[in-house]
Amino acid sequence: MFKGLRLALLSCLILVPVFFKASADELKIGYVNLERVFREAPAAIKASKKMQEEFEERKREPLRIENDIKSRQASLSEKGASLSDSQRRAKEAELTEMSVSLQRRQQVFQEDLKIRQNEETSAILEKANKAIFEMAKAERWDLILQEAVSVSGRIDVTDKVIRKMTGD
């Protein structure tokens, strides 16, 4: 029992001077809201527009194929009774093959989109981190956080970071 008490007392004696030193030297702490950086930074807005343009045509193609499949299914439903069994099965097989092909194309599209989004996100995050590091060094910040539960507006340096990113 006394051993645990001694250890706690010794820990306090060691840490108290550290806390007094930290409070004697004023800490300069900041916070960056990365969600805002990704929403408002010109580099992020430009990347978003670039990706929309890049994937716009590829996004329309599956929709066109899907509409074609639906119209063929409607046609088969209407005229299916007048077709022979083999003709109807052939058309159903063709529709099934088209649907599978469409699903593959959509999956490839989603994978490509996700890869490009990750690339752009990484590039923006790298720019933001570079701006944060340069700002912290130039303005002698002790600590800059990117995640927090609650943040006072007086330590929010997100606008400065966005401006710094714009200047690069």
Per-residue pLDDT at 36: 94
Per-residue pLDDT at 15: 55
In whole angstroms, how far apart are CA 117 and each of 45, 57, 103, 104?
13, 17, 21, 20
Tokens for 98, please give them. Answer: 């088209």
- Residuewise pLDDT in 10s, the chain (168 residues): 545 545 454 455 565 555 555 554 688 999 999 999 999 999 999 999 999 998 888 888 888 989 988 898 888 888 777 888 888 888 889 889 999 999 999 999 999 999 999 999 999 999 999 999 999 999 999 999 998 888 888 999 999 999 999 875
3-class DSSP state of 143: strand
In the chain the first and final C-alpha atoms are separated, in Å, by 60
Per-residue pLDDT at 82: 82
Q: What is the pTM of this model?
A: 0.68
Q: Are 145 and 30 in contact (CB under 8 A)?
A: yes
Angle at 41 between CA 36 and CA 42, to 5 degrees: 155
